[in-house]
């Protein structure tokens, strides 16, 4: 089987790492630039960000299966375009991707179908939004841009003026462009957060895997939000009872609602959940693998991933998806300045010195003058699977300083709370 993977981050590296161990897969192409991926398969630079160009590039490779990593091409309908050309593709259609690409769509889906979530109202008008937000009180709300915003669309105001600035920026100054022209003002809810993933063909779904991630850039959850600085699984509060509740009250009604809506969801459903005093409530959905969560999931997966991808692309997931009953931790190594401005093309060394207990996935790297250099804010991800979170964590933190590049940094508290 010939597989084309779209995307160039650590998520796509881990998918290609898994595909390259799969006996059914004879050839892999990746549309994206990444040093480590280029060591596993042929990489092709996207000629253009435009989906039609991407589709043409993919068709020219005559693949048996296509796997789409990032949300942007999914939300632009790349799956619909490929399926119209009879190319089997793993990922949701444009309309099903709205579960991530429109927070207003997903909130309505939840409220209409009694899927537990916090109350929210949508706004396009600044004056109305400010009035509503002031009535609620800045400390009781979360503001969410409707559209995709690369992790920068959720705001938890810390003062009244902070709240008004956010609303003005989004609705008047249009700092997030179209993505922020409409927004949700949600009631703030409290509790530990967990990301729950399942493979689904739209009707059948796999066993869940539950992962906790760290979004803030600095230790103790300080600093701005990022795409993710690390994660671990299983969460210390995860148990069968909670899992069953989430399946029954959230996953099953979500899949059913998407079917009834005429937008069945096939792919990997990523549900962000808060465990409140009144039970689990959905914070958001994503229509793709998380990053770095995928770098944790791929080593945990027992199956041949091509079977799962193929069955879902064919609309019939029959494989019994099985996750290793182990613990896992991922820590992301970033370039100084991330998630704001950062410098690229730093020479990276030390990966060859890492113990085999730790897998190093590349998030933002490339080859320059035959050398490995950084090519993003998130640069590398160390992933480790062991018999306990404590061991997985220790393995990573004893190895991580072997990796050297200018201005690098990482969080030192990933998974620490799982041991407290």
Residue closer to ligand GLY by CB (options 59, 154) is: 154
**Is residue 228 involved in binding ligand GLY (CB under 6 A)?**
yes
**Is residue 12 involved in binding ligand GLY (CB under 6 A)?**
no
> Shortest CA distance to 72 belongs to which of 46, 105, 94?
94
**Is residue 9 involved in binding ligand GLY (CB under 6 A)?**
no
Type and span of the H or E element at 225: strand 222-233
Residue closer to ligand GLY by CB (options 186, 213) is: 213
Q: At what angle do helices 252-260 and 94-101 cross, to 10 degrees?
A: 130
Among 213, 295, 311, 386, binds ligand GLY (CB under 6 A): 213
d(CA 316, CA 87): 16
Contact 151, 377 (CB under 8 A): no
Which positions from 235 to 274 touch ligand GLY by CB under 6 A, shown as an x/- string?
----------------------------------------
**Is residue 293 involved in binding ligand GLY (CB under 6 A)?**
yes
SS3 267: strand
Residue closer to ligand GLY by CB (options 87, 330) is: 330
Residue closer to ligand GLY by CB (options 201, 213) is: 213
C-beta of 352: minimal distance to ligand GLY in Å? 27
**Is residue 290 involved in binding ligand GLY (CB under 6 A)?**
yes
Residue closer to ligand GLY by CB (options 71, 399) is: 71
Phi-psi region of 72 (alpha: psi -120 to 50; beta: other; left: phi over 0): alpha
**Is residue 286 involved in binding ligand GLY (CB under 6 A)?**
yes
Residue closer to ligand GLY by CB (options 25, 67) is: 67
Identify the sign of the CA torsion 70, 194, 333, 14: negative
**Tokens standing for residue 123:** 């706004």
> Tokens 């990573």 label which residue?
396
Contact 311, 322 (CB under 8 A): no
Binding site for ligand GLY (CB under 6 A): 213, 227-228, 286, 290-291, 293
């Amino acid at each position: 089987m010939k597989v084309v993977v779209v995307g160039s981050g650590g998520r796509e590296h881990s998918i290609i790492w898994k595909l390259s161990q799969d006996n059914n897969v004879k050839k892999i192409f990746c549309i994206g630039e990444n040093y480590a991926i280029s060591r596993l398969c042929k990489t092709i630079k996207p000629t253009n960000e435009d989906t039609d160009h991407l589709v043409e590039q993919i068709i020219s490779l005559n693949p048996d299966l296509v796997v789409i990593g990032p949300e942007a091409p999914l939300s632009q309908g790349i799956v619909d375009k490929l399926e119209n050309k009879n190319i089997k593709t793993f990922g949701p259609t444009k309309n099903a991707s709205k579960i991530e690409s429109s927070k207003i769509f997903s909130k309505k889906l939840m409220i209409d179908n009694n899927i537990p979530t916090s109350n929210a109202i949508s706004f396009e008008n600044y004056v109305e939004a400010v009035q509503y937000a002031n009535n609620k009180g800045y400390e009781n709300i979360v503001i969410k841009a409707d559209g995709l915003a690369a992790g920068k669309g959720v705001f938890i105001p810390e003062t009244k003026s902070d709240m008004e600035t956010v609303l003005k920026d989004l609705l008047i100054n249009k700092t997030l462009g179209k993505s922020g022209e409409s927004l949700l003002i949600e009631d703030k809810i409290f509790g530990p957060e967990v990301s729950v993933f399942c493979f689904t063909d739209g009707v059948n779904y796999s066993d869940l895997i539950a992962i906790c991630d760290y979004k803030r850039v600095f230790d103790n959850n300080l600093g701005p939000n990022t795409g993710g600085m690390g994660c671990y699984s299983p969460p210390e509060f995860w148990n069968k009872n909670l899992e069953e509740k989430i399946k029954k009250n959230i996953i099953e009604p979500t899949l059913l609602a998407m079917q009834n809506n005429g937008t069945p969801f096939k792919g990997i459903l990523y549900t962000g959940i808060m465990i409140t005093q009144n039970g689990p409530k959905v914070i958001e959905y994503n229509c793709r693998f998380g990053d770095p969560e995928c770098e944790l999931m791929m080593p945990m997966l027992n199956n041949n991933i091509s079977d799962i991808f193929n069955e879902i692309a064919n609309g019939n997931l029959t494989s019994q998806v099985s996750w290793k009953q182990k613990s896992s931790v991922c820590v992301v190594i970033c370039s100084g300045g991330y998630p704001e401005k950062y410098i690229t093309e730093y020479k990276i060394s030390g990966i060859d010195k890492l113990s085999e207990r730790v897998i190093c996935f590349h998030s933002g790297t490339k080859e320059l003058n035959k050398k490995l250099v950084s090519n993003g804010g998130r640069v590398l991800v160390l992933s480790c699977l062991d018999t306990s979170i404590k061991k997985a964590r220790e393995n990573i933190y004893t190895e991580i300083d072997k990796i050297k590049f200018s201005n690098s940094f990482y969080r030192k508290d990933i998974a620490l709370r799982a041991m407290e």
